Chain A
Amino acid sequence: MSPEEAKKNVQELKIHMRHFEEAMKKIRPLSTQELNMCEKISDQFGKPDIAGRRRSDRESESGLPSSAVT
């Protein structure tokens, strides 16, 4: 495709949900192991998170124990 052609048809370029789904296969979230390590450390310190919430508050908000987050 020539640069002129690309410019002419740039309006047709759209990012669809399938592109995000495809990208999700390449980019993975933090591993549960890594996340658990951080949660364990936060328990050790017994300190609140940046929003001033403690771990138990976060769990009750999400309805899941933090360790279940993958």
Chain B
Amino acid sequence: MLMLLPLRAFLLYGPPGTGKTLIAKAAANESEANFISIKGPELLSKWVGEPEKGVREVFRKARQAAPCIIFFDEIDAIAPIRGAIFGDSHVTERVISQLLTELDGLEILTNVIVIAATNRPDIVDPALLRPGRFDRILYVPPPDRDSRIQIIKIHTKKKPLAEDVKFEELADHTDGYTGADIASLSSAAVMLALHEHITKYESRRS
């Protein structure tokens, strides 16, 4: 029999807008597990000991609500490299220690998956990136051409497109655009079309 330990923690990193948070949401939706979302800086508090308590609480609730996914967005805000920041109260250092003990401590996480996202993995404390803590560190790159076609289709689904709009051509022109950029692009195109439509009638009336 294979005594294989399941993967418990994943770190997603990549440029902003590439869909790291969306992947976590999709994982929660598909697995139908409970989902606890923590936006990095919201754990921090002006009271000494509160952030660490917050981390403990999150993991305690997750254990109670298992199967559960804990999602730490912008983890670089709560777990930067220790010793790199001077002049603070070393609160992030204690938060990291708390996270390390929760991820890799004596109490085993059963049916609890931790997903973290950051666009600055280089400033996340290396102790968190060692095996046993975040088991998989995955790069989320900007979408390739085929992915861009799918993203464009999604964002223009309920919009009145003219016949001259070709998804393939748009995908060719949007090299380097992320999912978030494409979403903004389609909104901006709608606004431009709307503006043109309104001004057309206004000029006719005058």
CB-based contact B198/A6 at 8 Å: yes
Q: Please, which residues of chain A bring their CB within 8 A of the CB of B137?
A: 45, 47
Query: Quick one: closest A residue to B187, CB to CB?
Result: A23
- A29 and B188 in contact (CB under 8 A), knowing A5-B201, A19-B193? no
Q: Please, which residues of chain B bring their CB within 8 A of the CB of A50?
A: 12, 23, 138-141
Does chain B have a CB within 8 A of A48?
yes
Name the interface residues of B6-40: CB closer than 8 Å to any CB of A: 12-15, 17, 23
- A41 and B121 in contact (CB under 8 A), knowing A13-B193, A29-B177, A30-B178? yes
Query: Quick one: closest B residue to A64, CB to CB?
Result: B175
CA distance A58 to B146 in the complex (A): 13
Does chain A have a CB within 8 A of B202?
yes
Interface 1/0s, chain A 36-70, versus B by CB < 8 A? 00100110110111100000001001100000011
CB-based contact A45/B121 at 8 Å: yes
- Using C-beta atoms within 8 Å of the partner chain, give the interface range for chain B: 35 or more
Task: Tally A residues with Cβ within 8 Å of B.
Answer: 37
CB-based contact B197/A13 at 8 Å: yes
Q: Please, which residues of chain A bring their CB within 8 A of the CB of B181?
A: 27, 29-30
Interface 1/0s, chain B 162-204, versus A by CB < 8 A? 1011100110011111100100111011101110111001100
CB-based contact A1/B174 at 8 Å: no
Interface 1/0s, chain A 15-38, versus B by CB < 8 A? 111011111101101101011001
CA distance A17 to B161 in the complex (A): 9
Residues of A within 8 A of B (CB): 1, 5-6, 9, 12-17, 19-24, 26-27, 29-30, 32, 34-35, 38, 41-42, 44-45, 47-50, 58, 61-62, 69-70
Q: 3 smallest A-B Cβ distances: which pairs?
A: A29-B176, A23-B188, A14-B162
20 contacts between A and B (CB under 8 A): A6-B201, A9-B201, A14-B160, A14-B161, A15-B159, A15-B165, A17-B165, A20-B173, A22-B189, A24-B174, A27-B177, A30-B17, A30-B181, A42-B139, A42-B141, A49-B138, A50-B140, A58-B144, A69-B142, A70-B175
